[in-house]
Structure 1
């Protein structure tokens, strides 16, 4: 006989309680189960960039600051810090004071002793991103903050020296056990947004990293509300409550109806409220959808577009699902789906007019209406540039050539710059007569195949031949960073409210990291660097508009859409609200055991 979810929980709890005192039974465990859209890559904060791994690390590690769980517009609040940073007038020196009495999760490395979080742990953690040995994809973002002495410390390694973690630098110092001083070369008025990323900027303990140096991905030890209990790569991730987590209670600043509802339910509850999280990567849409419907998972994020007409026809939850008490969360994401062109590729790269014309013609040939209404089933809006909703610089009224669909203009542009079919085989060649074959990187799942079909059809219409190169997502990411892909279609989500995060995608020094296009234009780099130093205002907004125009003019990336995300949860999931600029939410939800199927 197969037990229901509720019966299974009670049976497991009763079994676990047999060795306990007979006078008091253990409380039923609260377990949250969900599926990931793609497999993780690992759990070392300085060595990851993918959303799927970062979902996990954001619950294990803790940054100095975090986001209020209910506030909209978003609000940054102290996390392990006592208060917001104390900054000087020109935002080049910051003092951060840590809360005493925060401890790392238990680990054999600590030999049975409690290990307190101290200011030096953040100094060490930031230095790890600078250590070339770690090949951190997030190093360029940290480098551009300009911490005094940090780049010089990294440069010493190139001269044949080992990275010296013990060398004190002016930009990152522990003034005492709980006080951190940060100094930067130029004004950084939004530095706090970099310090509010649990997934990437959480503190690690040096002794843990040194003990597990051969496989730091598999041994994440932080101060967060959960610890990694089990990991079967690309198959199962299990988190369990950190029993040593400090006293922390749900609270927030509710500014809208949904926020007030959640706060009324959960205010004052000790975090985390659940005991265990089980995450399973399921890349194919149908099994992921069926696992949710069947109750194997409590929650499904990013409901596949194929099932949108079934789950929420006309963007309203279907009656059969509403009858089951299923909850629908619809959200305009601060993200985009985009295709990058490798600017160093001999087929599509370069700044010569005919190369620019080829990329712009490809952009014009892509029927984004097909993507929005047929593939995504209306769960996206057309993108006009690389600027993202909910971030600085985004204007929903702007219209650009990035959002234009015109096969006739694409053909005319190709003809004008010499891309013609010279041998009569139906496919255009380069202006010098060389064969032209586009190579589109993709994944071997059904959802990705629908995009491949759109590309093949649209490009064929304008006489461009394309082949598809298959690979798993983590492998494609490695290839993209190494500059070995010609074209790749993927998504990007904002890490923080400042729109400059997406502008990094075209910043020259980010080539091989966030700048998959390997786009290098001095004019763009100068305006980007200027925008880093300015406070929000008219001058900075003008720079964002210039960056937008450069992206559209040179087309190193085609930004397709901004996605509308639909999440569903069973009725026993309490308090969920999709994060905007953070990944973490496991410790902000509860499981109502009384609502589990009997």
Structure 2
């Protein structure tokens, strides 16, 4: 089960083995006279577990698309690649921001001499990145025509005057006015950006460091490509899009006009492996790769076999094969002998299933509806899920707070994690969900049939989760049916409020908890908030937490928000996943970033080791 994105990733459709091997790319035969042959390009090859949706930052919320955009576009700041748990550094900004004492005014200087990748729109002339490009890029989230799924989250930042432009466009039924200056988002000069906010935002830097979301775009590019902009990403990042076969293969190539940037990662003193990478690559110009080839292979077996055959350079061990690859949690001897490297981490995520709070059966805020959701939660055997479907590669989740993010406490306990079938049955009996006709299935309190519909994906691993769901619901006496569909289609249905229950994963976008709470924030309903949960007190907490510095008051509000989610149960949090990344011996420098998902420019391919393996 797969990364907010929404940063959400998900299980997805079947891909046959033959297709997997073809998608990974054929290995070119050695030239007869190697001394005359040009050096082969350094190509990173691996696979996504679910389909992308496109490459326009303002229109995305899914994890896999945003992994790509994080390498095509650049934000003002970035996460250091090797520092743990995190360190934020200037990216296209010249220095750290100048911030007012009340955290309401942020002034940022850009580095001059940074250019967008070449595109026909620029008519052969270099196009320099300027402050106005960030003004335009940030305004796009507010343009009703963009239909940004993260609009509400951007609006909650409170940039003065920007949302008013949106409301005027909606009221007057006219195009969004990009040319009207606003106080909260201005280019003071060619290289100076200023953001002014309605309320304090002590952690705005986290948002500005999200390259996949907050990267600069050129206005003329967006206006030229119009509704095709998802297919034509033009950024200032280390890579550019070379080719794209939707839901099949994505190929990126080195950006030839990328600025002079060298490897300067700063690892922790006690991280020997990261120290080795830093010493090896110090001063190397980035990126070190020539191309990145990403296949879309949702089925686990072909993805795993392709890695074993040397077709992929990296794989996150599919759950079905964790016992083979990692007996007793250690790398299998046959893989270790081949020089395969293991990177094992507790992921900064939370897997959950949500209830559509507007659904006639599982939605609503009355006591009987709350009881139904809480009973389903209590009947969910997460321990069995971890043992069987997840092969032990997860820990039980207590709430929406992801590991390593603000407010996470491994000792914190809530009812969310309880498995108590007798109590679940008693709740349903108490609120009228009874088996009135003796057929073994419960009816609604009004006597009508009770049946829940669970959205899923048509692949082998998803079917294992489906079987566990059915056992849980059978034991509870609740009829259950599956609505299968591919990940992008399910996401569209979810945003439209057409799914009743759906399980998916959300990865933390930053070290703060705010993005996790956003998936329950009322104004985000239909965007990040797929559950369409609305609670005035929760929304007030969400708003107040944005304004407060970290400390006892903010933490107390977070705990109250956690209690609200358990009480109403709009989402059931199941696990935090353990990720086991395996890399081939020729892939040098890989470490999974806890935040940001940007790493392609920091790794290298040792072709001599690859050739030896062949």
Q: What TM-score does the superposition give when structure 1 sets the normalisation length?
A: 0.96
User: Is 1:546 aligned with 2:560?
Assistant: yes
Paired residues for 1:447-486 under 5 Å: 447-486=461-500
1:183 and 2:192 matched: no
Residues 86-126 of structure 1 deviation map (CA, whole Å, 9 limit, x = unaligned) = 00000000100000000000111111111000000000000
Which runs of structure 2 are paired with 1:34-53 in the superposition (5 Å)?
34-53=46-65
1:555 equivalent to 2:555? Answer no
Secondary structure of 1:506's counterpart equals coil
Tell me what 1:307 maps to: 321
| Matching of residue 364 in structure 1 with residue 364 in structure 2 | no
Once the two structures are superposed, what CA deviation does each residue of 1:122-158 show, in whole Å capped at 9, x if it has no partner?
0000011110101001111110000000110000111
Residue 31 in structure 1 maps to residue 43 in structure 2? yes
Aligned to 2:221: 208
Task: Say which of 202, 206, 213 aligns to 1:193.
Answer: 206
8 Å contact 2:249–2:293 — kept in the other structure? yes
The yes-or-no answer on 1:397 pairing with 2:391 is: no
1 CA distance for matches of 2:39 and 2:301?
Answer: 35
1:203-243: CA deviations, max 9, x gaps?
Answer: 11111111111300110000000000000101110000001
The runs of 5 or more residues in structure 2 that have no matched partner are 1-20
**How far 1:12 moved relative to its partner?**
11
Gaps of 5+ in 1: 15-22
- Name which of 80, 101, 120 aligns with 1:68: 80
Match of 1:264 among 279, 285, 293: 279
The equivalent residue for 1:406 is 420
Aligned-partner Cα distance in 1 for 2:322–2:112:
48
Instruction: Please say if residues 123 and 174 of structure 1, whose CA atoms lie closer than 8 Å, have aligned partners that are also in contact.
Output: yes
* In 1, Cα distance between equivalents of 2:31 and 2:604: 20
Aligned pairs, number: 587
After superposition, the C-alpha distances for 1:40-66 in whole angstroms (9 at most, x for unaligned) are: 000011011111111111110000001
Q: Deviations over 1:496-523 (max 9, x none)?
A: 0001110111111010011111110101
- Contact between 2:238 and 2:601, CA under 8 Å: does it hold in 1? yes
Report the equivalent of 1:572: 586
Q: Does 1:218 align with 2:251?
A: no
Tell me by how many angstroms 1:189 deviates.
Answer: 0.4
Query: 1:459–1:465: 8 Å Cα contact kept in structure 2?
Result: yes
2:293 match: 278
| CA distance in 1 between partners of 2:33 and 2:365 (Å) | 65
1:97 aligns with 2:109: yes
1:590 maps to what in 2? 604
> Counterparts of 1:469-548 in structure 2 under 5 Å?
469-548=483-562
Contact 1:250 1:269 in 2 (8 A): yes
**Superposition deviation, residue 24 in structure 1:** 8.0
Q: Are the equivalent residues in 2 in contact too, given 1:125–1:203 (CA < 8 A)?
A: yes
- After superposition, the Cα gap between the structure-2 partners of 1:269 and 1:436, relative to the gap in structure 1 and judged at 3 Å, is same
Cα distance in 2 for residues equivalent to 1:573 and 1:6: 18
CA contact (8 A) 1:48 1:136 kept: yes
Question: Matches of 1:493 and 1:280 in 2, distance apart?
Answer: 21
Which residue of the partner structure matches residue 442 of structure 1? Answer: 456
From the superposition, tell whether residues 475 and 12 of structure 1 become closer, same or farther in structure 2 (CA, over 3 Å): farther
In the alignment, structure 1 residue 143 sits paired with structure 2 residue 143: no
Taking the aligned partners of 1:54 and 1:525, their CA distance within structure 2 comes to 27
Deviations 1:528-559 (A, max 9, x none): 11101000000000001001111111100000
Q: 1:6–1:596: 8 Å Cα contact kept in structure 2?
A: no
Provide the residue aligned with 2:91 in structure 1. Answer: 79
Whole-angstrom CA distance in 2 between matches of 1:287 and 1:28: 26
| Other structure's SS at 1:58 match | helix
If asked which structure has higher relative contact order (CA below 8 Å, sep 6+), I would say 2
1:383 aligns with 397
**Partners of 1:466 and 1:499 in 2: CA distance:** 33
Contact 2:45–2:293, Cα closer than 8 Å, also in 1: yes
Q: Structure 2 CA distance, aligned partners of 1:198 and 1:535?
A: 24
User: Do 1:32 and 1:298's aligned partners in 2 also have CA atoms closer than 8 Å?
Assistant: yes
Pairing partner for 1:168 from 156, 168, 181? 181
Tell me the distance in 2 between the aligned counterparts of 1:403 and 1:267.
45
Q: Which residue of 1 aligns with 2:309?
A: 294
Deviation at 1:527, TM superposition (A): 1.0
Which consecutive aligned stretches of 4+ in structure 1 deviate over 6 angstroms post-superposition? 4-7
1:330 aligns with 2:351: no
Secondary structure in structure 2 of the residue aligned to 1:212: helix
CA contact (8 A) 1:337 1:561 kept: yes
1:61-97 deviation per Cα after TM superposition (whole angstroms, max 9, x unaligned): 0000010000012011100001111000000001000
Cα separation, 1, equivalents of 2:174 and 2:161: 16
Q: 2:120 is matched with which residue?
A: 108
Distance in 1, matches of 2:184 and 2:448, equals 52
- How far residue 261 of structure 1 moved from its aligned partner, in angstroms, is 2.2
Deviations 1:360-386 (A, max 9, x none): 000010110111111111110000111
State the superposition RMSD in angstroms: 1.6
